[in-house]
Every structure is written in C-alpha cells, then in structure tokens.
C-alpha cells in the first residue's frame, strides 16, 4: 500500500480520531449515573439487603432524566415485592416534606432510593443530616440511603453526551447529504441555511393558518414545496444560463433569508392588526409537531433516526443506482458525461433540488425543536455543512 496515498485519503479521519482520543482523555471524571440501568442496580441492592419486607421512598428531582430513573426504580422495586410508599419527583422542599410526613405518620421506612448527585447535595440525605432527622422521627432510625455507585469514565464518551452531539448536529448532517451530491458534481450550495429558515417559516405560517392535524401535514408539505422551488430555480439558473453556482446560491441565500424575515414580519403584523413589525419566530401550537425533533424511539432522539435512515438511503442511491453513477460521472468530467449520453443538466438540477429538500427537512426539525419557525435559523450553516462534507472525504474539485 502506498503510505503517502493512504495518508492523503484518510488524513481527516486520523485527525478526527486523534481529537476523539484527546477529548476522551481530557474529560475523564467521576460519573454519577442517573439511568434506567442504575435504577435497576439500586432496586436490586435494596431487595438483597431487605428482602420483600421493606418500605421504600423514591426521591429525585423533576428533570426528564430523573423522572425516567424514578419510574424505572419504582417498577423494579414493586416487581421485587417491595412496598413503594411514595415517589417524589420534585424540589428539595417537597422531598423533605414527604420524609417528615412519613415520619409523623410513624411509617417504618427501610430505604430512601435516590441518586448520588442529590444525596450529596441535600444536607438531610447525608449521614449526619439524616441522623438528626431520625432523632426527630423515630420511625426513620432504621432507614438507609441507597444510590448508584460511581465510576471514572470520559464524559465525552458517555452515551448521553454522544446522543446529544448526534441530536444537536442532526440538521447539519442531513443537509450534508444533499451538499455532498452538489460538491461531487463540482458545484457548491451556499443557500442551505437560508432555505432552512424559509422552510421553517413557511411551514409555521401554513400550520397556524389552517390549524389541526391537516394544517400540520399541509404545513410540512408547504415547507418542502418552497424548498423544491428554490432548488429548481438554482438548478435551472446554473444549467440554462450558465451562471456559476457560487453566484447563484449566494444570491439565493440572500433572497431566501429576506423572504423568511418578510414572512415573519407580515405574519405578526397581520396577527396583531398591524401593531407588530418585528421578525420574531412564529410559534407553532401543535404538541404533536414537537415530537418530530423532541421525541425519542428506543431512547434515541428522532432526528438521529432520521439522519441514520437518510444516510443509508444516500449510500444505496450513490453506490447502487444509475442516478448515483451519473452524479459521479458529471463531477468527474461533465463533457465526457454529456458525450456518453448522460443528461448533465437534469442531473445538476436534481442535485440542487435534493440539497434544498434536505435543508427543508432540517428546517422542519429546527421548527419542531424550538416549537416555531425562526427567520434567523440556520445562520452560517452553509459553512458548517461544507466543512462537514470536506472532512467526510468529498473533493471540492468534484468527481469523488
């Protein structure tokens, strides 16, 4: 194997792996898990220590992660035959009030199940603090505090952090699919961030105007339709009028951003009877739409599933379809591709439409995540997406 060629082709991968190793080492710290797995371990420890004749109180905060932890913990305790006297997912005051209430009732509590962060931060859950509470309420004298064990591990490599990184960058990664096709053909698309914003604003306006489930569906279709029109206009201008893609997409970037701001201003002006002229986000009042970006399937955020599915589809299209081979051929040598019978103009127009559609999907995800269409969404996304594509191995000269 030619070492120089290997380094040239895979240098970006080596750099990324080096960065991952660096951040993994730099972020090694004590991990205090608040996960369903940790909840099962705590439930097992309580069952082993007390058998099935134990009364347990579950005490956690009110975050989403802690609520899931408490739910799993309570289910596991009941499955083991233990009595769950109460489950508190709330403030410090609420946890203390519940403990004092059980103490006043004379409930013999064998265990308080919590997590390590809460146990270390609340004085009355520490050993000395709880001893004072037990002196006041004798029924709590045999109560023990149970929490998951801790361990040292890179914070960068925790499942929560990795999923968060994927979720936060899913929009950029999805747009990168379309941008990869454009760059392989030797072009570039600087309009993706603005197209994203225009799609989000357009979808929000239609959803709010129509309302209901039908409005949500029509709004999404409207967002995709607007993006398709932008991509078609870009592709036709590049192919029919032979204007460089850089100039066309730069113009489209400014036009779409302006339309997004105008749409937001006009919507708020109409909604307020002409009183508001500010380009604020257009709120979307549909809880179900929020699940597009904020929901989870099997513990994995929905945008990550969409990103994975689209990457699989893109791989199949680019490696096993005629269209994919044509994209590579046009990028390698457009004249040779034309002479061999490939409809070069059609391929180029198609990739710009696909790029716009991926930006539109990212716009819908952004609108779902922030529960509104933001006219300033996607700013500087074009630079991030192009960087992602180049780091991913696409050549700015096209063809590979």
Please state the pTM of the whole predicted model: 0.84
Long-range contacts of 99-107 (CB under 8 A, 24+ apart): 99/57, 99/59, 99/124, 99/133, 99/140, 100/133, 100/137, 102/57, 102/137, 102/139, 102/140, 103/133, 103/136, 103/137, 103/139, 103/140, 104/137, 105/139, 106/139, 107/55, 107/139
The answer on 259 and 115 residing in a single domain is no
Which pLDDT does position 220 carry in this prediction?
92
pLDDT digits (tens, 9 = 90+) for 118-136: 888 777 788 778 788 778 8
d(CA 270, CA 285) in angstroms, rounded, equals 17
The answer on 303 and 230 residing in a single domain is yes
Residue with token string 């509104």: 372
pLDDT at 223 over 90: yes
**Residue 83 falls within a domain, yes or no?**
yes
Taking residues 161-169, what's their average pLDDT? 91
**Residue 400 falls within a domain, yes or no?**
no
The answer on 346 and 250 residing in a single domain is yes
The answer on 363 and 345 residing in a single domain is yes
**Residue 118 falls within a domain, yes or no?**
yes
The answer on 144 and 193 residing in a single domain is no
Q: Among residues 149, 169, 196, which one ends one of the domains? A: 149
CA distances from 15 to 155, 176, 273, 320, 328 (A): 20, 20, 55, 30, 26
d(CA 186, CA 368) in angstroms, rounded, equals 33
The answer on 332 and 292 residing in a single domain is yes
Which pLDDT does position 158 carry in this prediction?
86
**Residue 347 falls within a domain, yes or no?**
yes
Lowest mean pLDDT among 174-183, 203-212, 245-254: 203-212
Lowest mean pLDDT among 67-71, 74-78, 277-281: 277-281
- What average pLDDT does the chain have? 88
pLDDT digits (tens, 9 = 90+) for 267-317: 888 877 766 677 788 888 888 888 889 998 888 999 999 999 999 999 999
The answer on 202 and 57 residing in a single domain is no
CATH number at residue 80: 3.40.50.2300
DSSP, residue by residue, 332-344? H-HHHHHHTT--H
Q: Among residues 89, 116, 149, which one ends one of the domains? A: 149
The answer on 116 and 1 residing in a single domain is no
Lowest mean pLDDT among 21-35, 184-198, 297-311: 21-35
The answer on 208 and 130 residing in a single domain is no
The neighbour count for residue 325, using CB atoms within 10 Å, is 14
Strand partners, 30: 152
pLDDT digits (tens, 9 = 90+) for 88-99: 888 888 888 888
Domain count, the chain: 3
3-state secondary structure of 300: strand
**Residue 398 falls within a domain, yes or no?**
no
The answer on 255 and 294 residing in a single domain is yes
Q: Which domain holds residue 84?
A: 36-149
Calculate what percentage of the chain has a pLDDT beyond 70.
97
Which pLDDT does position 142 carry in this prediction?
81
Q: Among residues 124, 149, 174, which one ends one of the domains? A: 149
* CB 351, CB 327: distance < 8 Å: yes
**Residue 318 falls within a domain, yes or no?**
yes
Instruction: Give the tokens for residue 269.
Output: 């002006």
* CB 182, CB 351: distance < 8 Å: yes
Which pLDDT does position 245 carry in this prediction?
92
Which pLDDT does position 120 carry in this prediction?
80
pLDDT at 1 over 60: no
* CB 40, CB 69: distance < 8 Å: no
**Residue 154 falls within a domain, yes or no?**
no
The answer on 385 and 249 residing in a single domain is yes
The answer on 343 and 323 residing in a single domain is yes
Which pLDDT does position 8 carry in this prediction?
67
């Amino acid at each position: 194997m030619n070492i120089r060629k290997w380094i040239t082709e895979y240098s970006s991968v080596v750099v990324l792996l080096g960065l991952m190793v660096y951040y993994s080492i730099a972020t090694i710290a004590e991990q205090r898990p608040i996960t369903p797995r940790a909840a099962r371990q705590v439930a097992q420890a309580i069952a082993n220590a007390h058998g099935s004749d134990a009364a347990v109180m579950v005490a956690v905060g009110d975050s989403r992660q802690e609520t899931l932890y408490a739910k799993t913990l309570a289910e596991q305790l009941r499955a083991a035959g233990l009595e769950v006297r109460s489950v508190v997912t709330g403030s410090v005051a609420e946890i203390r009030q519940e403990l004092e209430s059980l103490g006043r009732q004379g409930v013999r509590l064998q265990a308080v199940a919590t997590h390590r962060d809460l146990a270390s931060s609340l004085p009355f859950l520490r050993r000395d603090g709880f001893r004072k509470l037990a002196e006041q309420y004798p029924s709590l004298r045999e109560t023990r505090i149970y929490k998951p064990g801790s361990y040292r591990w890179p914070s960068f490599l925790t499942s929560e952090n990795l999923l968060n990184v994927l979720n936060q960058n899913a929009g950029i990664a999805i747009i990168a699919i379309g941008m990869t096709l454009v760059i392989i053909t030797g072009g570039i698309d600087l309009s993706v961030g603005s197209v994203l914003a225009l799609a989000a604003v357009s979808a929000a306006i239609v959803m709010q105007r129509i309302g209901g489930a039908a409005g949500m569906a029509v709004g999404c279709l409207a967002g995709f339709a607007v993006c398709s029109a932008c991509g078609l206009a870009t592709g036709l201008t590049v192919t029919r009028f032979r204007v460089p893609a850089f100039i066309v997409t730069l113009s489209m970037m400014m036009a779409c951003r302006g339309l997004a701001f105008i749409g937001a201003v006009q919507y708020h002006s109409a909604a307020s009877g002409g009183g508001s002229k500010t380009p604020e986000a257009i709120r979307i009042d549909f809880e179900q739409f929020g699940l597009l970006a904020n929901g989870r399937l099997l513990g994995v955020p929905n945008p990550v599933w969409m990103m994975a599915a689209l990457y699989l589809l893109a791989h199949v299209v680019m490696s096993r379809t005629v269209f994919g081979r044509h994209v590579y051929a046009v990028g390698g040598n457009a004249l040779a591709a034309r002479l061999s019978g490939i409809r070069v103009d059609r391929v180029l127009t198609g990739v710009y439409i696909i790029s716009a559609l991926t930006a539109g999907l990212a716009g819908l995800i952004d609108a779902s995540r922030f529960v509104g269409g933001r006219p300033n969404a996607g700013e500087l996304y074009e630079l991030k997406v192009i960087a992602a594509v180049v780091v991913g191995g696409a050549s700015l000269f096209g063809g590979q």
